[in-house]
Amino acid sequence: MKKLLIGIFAICLGSASYGQVIYGNNPAAGGYYNTGDARIYYEVYGSGSPVVLLHGGIYSYIAEYRNLIPALSKNHTVIAIATRGHGRSELGHQPLSYRLFAEDAYQVIRHLTKDSVILIGFSDGGDTGYYLAADHPQLVKKLVAIGGNLGYTDFSGEDKASIDRLSGADMEKNEQGFVSARKALMPEPARFDEFVDDMAELWREKTYVSKDKIAAIQCPSLIIAGQNDGCPVEQYVAIYRLLQKGQLAIIPGSDHLVLRNKPLLMQEIIEDDIDGH
């Protein structure tokens, strides 16, 4: 995530597979929806009531859900959406924002289903999920937001410094393996630096999601964060307290990357929440 720029983990996510399935680059499950400004890539697995997965930013991608997709697709139609500029989705030409990401996702979801959905978002996907749930209450019947924080001011120390120095040129120089893997997926690889610089500008915004936006969410919402997330736990508690129908899970012994660090625990928590066990 924006809080933890971990190159090795990111490279693994960029090419991760589960068995013979290469999540995020699977022609058998993939498709595109044209929003008018960008073609947004998605993959669909399984059958049943729809669950939508939104991944994190820059270093993250659909493959970070490689453990959850096969589990959830046993009982649900799983729709995994690639955020614009990430992986196989086009960047388009509008200023990047979480509201824009949410509207892209809304169009993709409505293209695929008329049903209300369970929405799971990690990191940037969590922030996007807040907008979707607040602005489209008829669409989202349950929200799981993992590590989605309120803004740049939540960070300090090395987490903040990593955002401050983030640039496409720096990644080209210092993370060549990751950059090459991502360019191989991108429809417009020549725009990689532009994409990273635009995302870095977004990550440096003081506020990603307002408290009023969080308070407007009507559906049952589960907030999840690692105990040692780059954003203080107190900020996630504050988000939880703003919600009308909120639950909170702090994952002990984990940093921001709870899906990687605690995969079985996360699967248990999410399945229990979305299936109402």
The residue-averaged pLDDT of 205-216 equals 97
**Domain 7-275 maps to which CATH number in 3.40.50.1820, 3.20.20.80, 3.40.1360.10, 3.40.50.20?**
3.40.50.1820
Domain-by-domain residue ranges, the chain?
7-275
Q: pTM of the prediction?
A: 0.93
H-assigned helices in the chain: 7-15, 68-72, 98-112, 124-135, 157-164, 168-174, 176-185, 192-203, 211-215, 233-242, 258-261, 263-275
Closest to 185 measured CA to CA, from 270, 50, 63: 63
20 vs 114: CA distance, rounded Å: 31
Q: What is the pLDDT of residues 32-42, one digit of tens each?
A: 999 999 999 99
Share of the chain above pLDDT 90, in %: 87
Is the dihedral angle over the CA atoms 232, 238, 243, 248 positive or is it negative? positive
Please tell me the predicted confidence (pLDDT) of residue 157: 83
